[in-house]
Amino acid sequence: MELKDKIRKFIENNLVVFEDEAEFEDSDNIFEMGFVNSLFAMKLVNYIESEMGIQVANDDLEISNFNSVDRIAEFINTKGGGAPSQ
Amino acid sequence: MSDTSDQEQIVAEAKKFAAEEIRPFAADFEEQAAIPKDLIDKMAQKGYLSASFPKEWGGLGLDPVYYGLLTEEIGKACASTRGLITVHTSLVGEAIVRWGSREQKEKWLPLMTSGKKIACFALTEPLVGTDARSVQTTYRKEGAKYIINGSKKWITCGCIADYFLVVAGGEKGIGAFLVEREFGGITTTPIKGLLAGRAAHIAEIEFEDVEVPAENIIGKEGSGFTYVVNTALDHGRYSIAWGGIGIAGEALDNMVTYSRQRSQFGRKLYKHQLIQGIIGDAVTKTHAGRALCLRAGEMRRDGHPDAVMETTIAKYFTSKIAMEITIDAVQVHGGNGCYNRYPVERLFREAKILEIIEGTSQVQQEIISSFGLRRYYRV
Ligand SMILES: Cc1cc2nc3c(=O)[nH]c(=O)nc-3n(C[C@H](O)[C@H](O)[C@H](O)COP(=O)(O)OP(=O)(O)OC[C@H]3O[C@@H](n4cnc5c(N)ncnc54)[C@H](O)[C@@H]3O)c2cc1C
């Protein structure tokens, strides 16, 4: 699976709104749209670390690194992770 | 991480320690409104103030499952003492382990491990509880310092703490700051008249123009709640989940023992079928809660994406059954259950606290329901 697809799937699995209410583009800010909550932010970091094999450091703790599919993919790529595991 | 037999050994020793050093004195601690310094020092020596920290930082390196089992043993003996490790180790310690910089870890963790410094978690305020993002305590940046002002309430171990993980709002959003008592401008006042947690040194705290060096922020301004507070609370909920099983298990032990010793109508209490019903339910609930805690622990250990949710479910469930079982344990004890010479009287009060701290039961229900409404939807 492509990196962005994996990220999208993870987000879709963790929405706080129902699937049919959650249409979003890769560039949309999913926090501002209210599709995910702050627990999601923490789960996302755990997911990126365990699935993408990179370490998220305290310096990386900017919500803007994680608020859209595009931004998350960019972050993972910058950190040199993202080898799809399947 | 320690290997399994080492970890089992540590938990077995903690059980013995709790039986010898904590349980017999739990009622006295309440009466004196203090977990004694001497006990805290002994716990530090045994590594119980840093049992989950990696060995690199002086911890025992217990994995989440064994750390949970250790928390259960301490919580079974005395909820206030378990409160110390909940805030010091799980909330503050784990937040530093997760999000502290290398320098911060090097500076703070060894002192917390040795018990030279005790840490507390200062989120709740007189006017702000569940709606925790609305904290009114403020920070403002002045040169290389932050200035913190505000009040916190109900802070476990606040009276004896040297470090306060303070959650405050400012220009860029919420930040989490490790504030040291020696910075000055901090007043802690013990809260008297509590239903329970009476030995847990619970405090109301005032921060008045406290000057905090910029390097004491954990994470970044604006990401304090999302990452640092949520990480701390997730660890806190895990600790409380096991604390609930501790109280439930202790109440069950007392209920069973009493029912086998006291007689009415010429028969031991346990021979009455209605008492058997109570005991049967208590055993079942305790086993179910324990299974949930173990599962949450395994998922945390394995980095499972649903570990946070399973932890929430475990916390909600065990705090609820701890309340139910302690109510029943008091019932089985009759009048003696209402008397502080019997541990169930204390356990009954302590259980109520668990339904309120680290997110009330109502909040857990909402979170769990929101998860379930998607996970279990079939078209
Ligand atoms: C013994 C003890 C130790 C504590 N230790 C600490 C500590 O170490 N650090 C710390 O920061 N805090 C601590 N607390 C505070 C604790 O975390 C809060 O009491 C808790 O978060 C609830 O906040 P509150 O008391 O302001 O209640 P409120 O938030 O005012 O809630 C009152 C009631 O309203 C309900 N409610 C609120 N919002 C909603 C909603 N949206 N939907 C449905 N129901 C809702 C709640 O469930 C509750 O039943 C401690 C409290 C106690 C009693």
Are B337 and B344 spatial neighbours (Cβ–Cβ below 8 Å)? yes
pLDDT of the residue at A82: 61
Render pLDDT for B162-206 as a digit per residue (tens, 0 to 9).
Answer: 999 999 999 999 999 999 999 999 999 999 999 999 999 999 999
The helix (run of H) or strand (run of E) holding residue A78 is helix A69-78
Render pLDDT for B340-356 as a digit per residue (tens, 0 to 9).
Answer: 999 999 999 999 999 99
Distance from CA of A67 to the nearest CA of B (A): 12
Q: Which residues of chain A are within 8 Å of residue B367 when distances are taken between CB atoms?
A: 39
Query: Could A46 and B303 be called an inter-chain contact, meaning their C-beta atoms sit closer than 8 Å?
Result: yes
d(CA B209, CA B32): 33
pLDDT of the residue at B1: 63
Nearest to A62 among B223, B234, B305 (CB): B223
Chain A CB within 8 Å of residue B226 CB? yes
Q: Is B298 a catalytic residue?
A: no
pLDDT of the residue at A86: 40
Question: Which domains are present in chain B?
Answer: 3-118 (1.10.540.10), 121-220 (2.40.110.10), 225-375 (1.20.140.10)
pLDDT at B45 over 50: yes
pLDDT of the residue at A18: 84
d(CA A67, CA B35): 44
- What share of chain B in percent tops pLDDT 90? 97
Q: Quickly state the pLDDT bin for B293 (edges 50, 70, 90).
A: very high
Cβ contacts of B72 within 8 Å, gap of 6 or more? B242, B243, B245, B246, B249, B293
Chain A CB within 8 Å of residue B101 CB? yes
The pTM (predicted TM-score) of the whole model is 0.96
Q: Which residues of chain A have pLDDT under 70?
A: 82-86
Choose between B307 and A13: higher pLDDT. Answer: B307
pLDDT at B158 over 50: yes
- What share of chain B in percent tops pLDDT 70? 100
**What's the rounded mean pLDDT across residues B46-67?**
97
Tell me the CATH number for domain A3-78. Answer: 1.10.1200.10
Ligand 1 centroid to B358 CA: how many Å? 8
- Nearest atom, ligand 1, residue B121 CA: 9
Ligand 1, pocket residues at CB < 6 Å? B 87, 120-124, 129-130, 154-156, 197, 202, 353, 356-357, 360, 362-363
pLDDT of the residue at A83: 53
Are B257 and B308 spatial neighbours (Cβ–Cβ below 8 Å)? no
**What's the rounded mean pLDDT across residues B128-137?**
96
- DSSP β-ladder status, B163-170 and B217-218: unpaired
Chain A CB within 8 Å of residue B265 CB? no
Domain boundaries, given as residue ranges, for chain A = 3-78
- Pocket test of ligand 1: the residue of B124, B230, B369 to mutate, having most ligand atoms within 8 Å of its CB, is B124
From B171, B324, B358, B366, active-site residue:
B358
d(CA A25, CA A69): 8
pLDDT at B43 over 80: yes
Query: Could B305 and A41 be called an inter-chain contact, meaning their C-beta atoms sit closer than 8 Å?
Result: no
pLDDT of the residue at A85: 43
Render pLDDT for B202-253 as a digit per residue (tens, 0 to 9).
Answer: 999 999 999 999 999 999 999 899 999 999 999 999 999 999 999 999 999 9
**What's the rounded mean pLDDT across residues B313-321?**
98
Look at ligand 1, atom 16, and give the residue with the nearest C-alpha: B357
Chain B CB within 8 Å of residue A39 CB? yes
Choose between B120 and A35: higher pLDDT. Answer: B120
pLDDT of the residue at B156: 98
Residue ranges of A 47-76 with Cβ closer than 8 A to chain B: 47, 49-50, 58-59, 61-63
Give the position of tokens 């006017």: B127
Cβ contacts of B224 within 8 Å, gap of 6 or more? B167, B168, B173, B174, B175, B176, B177, B217, B218
Q: Pick the residue of A39, A54, A64 with the most B CBs within 10 A to test the interface with B by mutation.
A: A39
Nearest CA in chain B to A39: B230
pLDDT at B76 over 80: yes
Chain B CB within 8 Å of residue A83 CB? no
Residue ranges of B 123-142 with Cβ closer than 8 A to chain A: 133
Query: Could A42 and B101 be called an inter-chain contact, meaning their C-beta atoms sit closer than 8 Å?
Result: no
Chain B CB within 8 Å of residue A33 CB? no
Chain A CB within 8 Å of residue B99 CB? yes
- DSSP β-ladder status, B163-170 and B119-122: parallel
CA dihedral B258, B263, B267, B272 (to 10 degrees): -50
- Per-residue H/E/C for chain B: CCCHHHHHHHHHHHHHHHHHHHHHHHHHHHHHCCCCHHHHHHHHHHCCCCCCCCHHHCCCCCCHHHHHHHHHHHHHHCHHHHHHHHHHHHHHHHHHHHHCCHHHHHHHHHHHHCCCCCEEEECCCCCCCCCHHHCCCEEEEECCEEEEEEEEEEECCCCCCCEEEEEEEECCEEEEEEEEHHHCCEEEEECCCCCCCCCCCCEEEEEEEEEEEHHHEECCCCCHHHHHHHHHHHHHHHHHHHHHHHHHHHHHHHHHHHHHHCEECCEEHHHCHHHHHHHHHHHHHHHHHHHHHHHHHHHHHCCCCCHHHHHHHHHHHHHHHHHHHHHHHHHHHHHHHHCCCCHHHHHHHHHHHHCCCCCCHHHHHHHHHHHHHHHCCCC
Residue ranges of B 350-369 with Cβ closer than 8 A to chain A: 367
pLDDT at B135 over 80: yes
Q: How far is CA B12 from the centre of its chain?
A: 20
What average pLDDT does the structure give for chain B? 97
**What's the rounded mean pLDDT across residues B325-353?**
98
